[in-house]
Structure 1
């Protein structure tokens, strides 16, 4: 089936909006999916809210591998399609499915073995630890089903088709809205599962999404002619996928590491502070959503045009996406600044949690515009099959700089929680500036080389 868009000839602004808008809408509902989880956990109390916040790093370890493999696969597929090599794209897609299945099983096992120790290091014990594990163990059991939809979608994204993924994320939100109370509260004769019910609803939605996306992937150019025997390991292709996916996954994993780092600092100020950062970052993600689709747009457009040798379009796609993203998030920052207390009150009536979250969102309103500059540049470099740059930036932003800056501001200068909140702002903006300079050197001033 011929793609509806031509990523190598259609005008860049048209492509950006036709790819980014459906993805942004879908990612908004994906974030609202998580918001529903947070809201439902609030029914169970502050301990359940804190448990979800504490579980996020481990859950993200699983998600990051899937996202990295998806990004790497999309880059390889779009490069092949841009160069007119549909058969090579089909082989890469088959091997990516094999790769992510093996990785998903391995990550689930590793998670089961390490999660209790990690949660204890982050301050969970007794009933608090049990609540956290009740959620995380179910997520880990369905790890493969969390990963597969992202990789199946890479075949569609490489062609610029983001509509099926948008539809899945919207439907998944409404399904989660129904399933959460069903499992949490034990409606219709089911046992009350508490936070474990939140996790079970997530896994069921992902299974349904994988089936739906596969039905659309079967109609794509990449799937045409795909045979079961194509799943036989081809180590040359698996190495190519690993070369793209592992740095991208590690870059995504630095986000989980960053959450662990910030949680470690925040835990010194009590369970309420941990709950507050969990709620506030969800609110921040909602406002960030309109710009997220630009990441996927720049990856697909840059990937295909790089494969086709249209280097001027690579530069145009990167710069145009950065401009759109930064402008949107200046407006988003203003929204957060004006509504931050009201937004916190939607999720909790605990005055301490509200106060901590309100303070974080003040600094977040200034930080927001840095994220699209940073992320769009990293995704553009991924489209050039240069994922290692994102990893170095990720290590700086999530591990090296936060440890130094948070400790200095929070403890040495005795700013308390304000040291963490403004430390996030300082570190993120510096990473955005570094990444833009790096991107300009690789994309903006030099002829591109394969």
Structure 2
């Protein structure tokens, strides 16, 4: 998982590197358009988290038929969601960019990018469905290899389509969307080939592809809360873009670069959390709550160490991380200020990822959603209010984010402790009944 995340980091940075060469409006437009990813991820989370958790529990119970049923239902809904993404994406992309863009150039760049990236967004459902099924069975290597393949392909495609290397026909921001869509499409094909030829525990079965409402109910019960969390992330990011667009494309570009760098820095902690979830889920299915606690403890430690080191890096010279992507002084200033301030919540964010993975493993993701929803009150509402006050400054947004993220992490830890205690009491009662 860590190796896969390293390649994912390269994907973020290579894409950003070539788009940044197109100017501030391009960076601002692509960054604002990229926020749509959170909406798609809200649905892929519903699919991916529920698939992983239910299959992991089935593996723990040694119930292969149920694992196969869940997998095929996941594939069915991946197809449905992919079609919905294509229809909704093309119908709404123009209106979305008009609402968030700071000027006409930013709106045009973001719309052009989205039109070519929407097919890739639709294909992500299939990739997530199959990858989550493998994670649920405890197999991560094929998913990591496919992820590496898609990143390498995107690294190859990006300069060809964006800058016109070798073709002499640069497509600009549209090329960035096309490069991502092609890479994801090839990744879907490669993963499907793996399932057909090599996977034996969960396989494609035509007779299991008809709608099963009982399985859908189980999937929604686990998947909707983490999906709603990503929808909230879309809201938070949209609030930020809307609040700072009064400062122009330079501010939105600076935030876009800083947030992309921040996302890449989160990947080590996410790798640990993603790996811990199926391990804890299988032990939960087998009734070994003590192993679930041990998994959380070591995941929290392993995730916090790299986040603490990255915090120190951002406090030392954040501008060094930014200067490789732009030479605009105003953009560098905004991105550097963002990273130096927001890095104080890196450890808290890492703990949040770990807790989220544990809630998935326990089969109850509602507490994690409750913790995320508190930021609507503590962050989104105050930012909206401040943006309409005289003397509003961008740094106020970053300070508020650090404070509210720390509070959210503490609240999430408290909720996880309560959930573990409830599971322990439930298991003890079940043993006494037997």
TM-score (norm 2): 0.92
How far residue 216 of structure 1 moved from its aligned partner, in angstroms, is: 3.2
Structure 2 counterparts to residues 42-53 of structure 1, below 5 A = 42-53=20-31
**Structure 1 residue 421 corresponds to structure 2 residue 392:** no
Bigger drift between 165-174 and 183-192 goes to: 183-192
Aligned twin of 1:30: 8
Aligned twin of 1:14: none
* Residues 329/128 of structure 1: CA separation in 2 closer, same or farther (3 Å cut): closer
Q: Does the CA-based 8 Å contact 2:11-2:154 persist in structure 1?
A: yes
Q: Which residue among 411, 424, 437 is the counterpart of 2:414?
A: 437
**Structure 1 residue 230 corresponds to structure 2 residue 230:** no
TM-score (norm 1): 0.89
Please, which runs of 5 or more residues in structure 1 have no aligned partner?
1-22
Bigger drift between 114-123 and 184-193 goes to: 184-193
Q: Which residue among 169, 174, 181 is the counterpart of 2:159?
A: 181
In structure 2, how many angstroms separate the alpha carbons of the residues matched to 1:190 and 1:148? 34
3-state SS of the aligned residue for 2:139?
Answer: coil
Structure 2 counterparts to residues 39-438 of structure 1, below 5 A = 39-189=17-167, 191-218=169-196, 219-224=198-203, 226-397=204-375, 399-407=376-384, 414=391, 416-438=393-415
Q: Does the CA-based 8 Å contact 2:37-2:121 persist in structure 1?
A: no
Q: Does the CA-based 8 Å contact 1:31-1:282 persist in structure 2?
A: no
In structure 2, how many angstroms separate the alpha carbons of the residues matched to 1:166 and 1:31? 13
How far residue 125 of structure 1 moved from its aligned partner, in angstroms, is: 4.7
How far residue 127 of structure 1 moved from its aligned partner, in angstroms, is: 3.4
Bigger drift between 180-189 and 88-97 goes to: 180-189
Q: Does the CA-based 8 Å contact 1:78-1:307 persist in structure 2?
A: yes
In structure 2, how many angstroms separate the alpha carbons of the residues matched to 1:273 and 1:435? 32
* Residues 62/190 of structure 1: CA separation in 2 closer, same or farther (3 Å cut): farther
* Residues 446/331 of structure 1: CA separation in 2 closer, same or farther (3 Å cut): same
How far residue 325 of structure 1 moved from its aligned partner, in angstroms, is: 1.5
Q: Does the CA-based 8 Å contact 1:410-1:419 persist in structure 2?
A: no
Q: Deviations over 1:23-47 (max 9, x none)?
A: 1221221132122111111121111
Please, which runs of 5 or more residues in structure 2 have no aligned partner?
428-434
* Residues 60/446 of structure 1: CA separation in 2 closer, same or farther (3 Å cut): closer
